[in-house]
């Protein structure tokens, strides 16, 4: 009786896993909108403090500066100090890397606001029946695009830049205002940039997770690291009924029914496939030494690791920028005259 009760409880939580993931993504997306408003208010104050009320600059906005964080991480590994200009960006970048190493590409599947937007677009497209499935001869070359972009940025930063070059970039006025440059890009996009963003959005309605799947170099890096993650989705061929519900639910379009272990760089750890599988004990989440791990363990550890990195950074003084507001204010006012170094 106790065992049956535990089985019912497990099935209850598993059936609501998709709702849990959507709720988690929604909260992070709402938080991103909030810090976006905060940063915009700070930016307006910096441009004209006489007409705009002061609002504190939110450190979390630095999460949208992954290339700067990659520069800071290499400097740190080469013996330089922890980033003092955008420390929160480096902290979030390290958290995303650690999550991928140990907990699949869970940052993409549970936290990233762009992943959340892709999730919503996919749900809409599924309901309206406008999603297209690309043949392998097109899909595979498109998949390589984000890895080519990753290789390009890796060459520029990891291979081509020494400590002196990295430090010059880190201390440049451009890096200081890179957050404002990002805001300026979205507030005043060029015709070309606006057309590209609109095109990506429209294509995403017919090609599942177009940006995340084909173009995001950040996701490409996390996917490569996730290949050695101990958490894996396992498939038992003897119980599989080949209904392919798992493949239909998979946001990354992984051919799950052809595998016994889903060790794939595209897997975002969403566990949607395990949830929808109608065959008992066919798809399970497992780590070495176990056959069936509670699905809630993955998101629980994922969120725990993310917030642990935040708390450690906050306590150790590696969350808030050391740059005075007056310095940000001075350089923000020169934004149109400062170009990339």
Give the Å distances, CA to CA, from 89 to 69, 73, 192, 313: 6, 10, 28, 11
**Per-residue DSSP letters for 188-239?**
S--HHHHHHHHHHHHHHTTBTTHIIIII-HHHHHHHHHHTT-S-EEEE-TTT
pLDDT along the chain (341 residues), means of 10: 47 71 96 97 96 96 95 96 97 98 95 94 92 89 95 95 95 96 92 93 94 95 96 94 94 92 93 92 88 89 97 98 97 91 75
136 found inside a domain = yes
Class of residue 299 by CB neighbours under 10 A (exposed 0-12, middle 13-18, buried 19+): buried
Domain contains 23: yes
Within a domain: residue 340? no
Q: Determine contact, residues 71/47, Cβ cutoff 8 Å.
A: no
pLDDT of residue 9: 46
What's the pLDDT at 14? 53
**Res 280: pLDDT:** 87
| 315, part of any domain | yes
pLDDT for the residue 3: 45
Domain-located, residue 95: yes
Report the C-alpha gap between 283 and 275 in whole angstroms: 9
Helix-strand-coil percent breakdown of the chain, rounded to 5? 65, 5, 30
- Domain assignment present for residue 341? The answer is no
Model pLDDT, residue 12 = 52
- Helices then strands (H, E): number in the chain? 17, 3
> The domain containing residue 84 runs over which residues?
2-335
When divided into structural domains, the chain yields a total of: 1
Q: How far apart are CA 266 and CA 268, in angstroms?
A: 6
Question: Would the pTM count as exceeding 0.75?
Answer: yes
Which pLDDT score is estimated for 16?
80
Q: CA 223, 229, 14, 125: dihedral to nearest 10 degrees?
A: 10
Q: Are 115 and 212 in contact (CB under 8 A)?
A: yes
Would 102 be classed as within a structural domain? yes
């Amino acid at each position: 009786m106790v065992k049956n009760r535990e089985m019912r409880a497990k099935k209850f939580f598993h059936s609501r896993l998709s709702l849990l993931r959507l709720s988690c993504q929604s909260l992070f997306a709402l938080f991103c909108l909030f810090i976006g408003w905060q940063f915009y208010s700070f930016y307006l104050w910096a441009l004209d403090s006489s007409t705009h009320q002061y609002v504190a600059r939110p450190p979390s906005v630095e999460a949208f500066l992954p290339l700067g964080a990659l520069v800071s991480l290499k400097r740190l590994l080469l013996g330089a100090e922890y980033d003092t200009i955008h420390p929160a960006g480096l902290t979030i970048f390290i958290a995303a890397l650690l999550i991928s190493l140990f907990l699949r590409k869970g940052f993409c599947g549970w936290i990233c606001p762009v992943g959340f937007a892709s999730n919503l677009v996919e749900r809409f497209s599924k309901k309206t029946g406008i999603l297209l499935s690309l043949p392998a001869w097109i899909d595979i070359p498109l998949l390589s695009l984000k890895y080519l972009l990753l290789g390009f940025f890796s060459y520029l930063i990891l291979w081509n830049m020494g400590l002196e070059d990295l430090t010059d970039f880190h201390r440049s006025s451009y890096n200081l205002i890179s957050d404002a440059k990002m805001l300026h890009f979205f507030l005043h996009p060029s015709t070309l940039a606006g057309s590209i963003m609109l095109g990506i959005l429209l294509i995403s309605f017919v090609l599942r997770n177009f940006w995340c799947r084909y173009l995001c170099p950040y996701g490409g890096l996390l996917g490569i690291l996730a290949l050695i993650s101990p958490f894996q989705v396992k498939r038992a061929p003897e119980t599989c009924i080949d209904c392919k519900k798992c493949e239909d639910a998979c946001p990354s379009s992984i051919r799950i029914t052809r595998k016994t272990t889903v060790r794939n760089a595209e897997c975002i750890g969403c566990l949607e496939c395990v949830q929808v599988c109608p065959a008992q004990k066919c798809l399970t989440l497992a780590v070495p030494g176990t056959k069936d791990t509670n699905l809630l363990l993955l998101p629980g550890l994922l969120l725990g690791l993310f917030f642990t990195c935040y708390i450690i950074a906050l306590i150790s003084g590696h969350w808030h920028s050391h740059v005075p507001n007056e310095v940000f204010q001075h350089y923000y006012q020169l934004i149109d005259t400062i170009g990339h170094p």
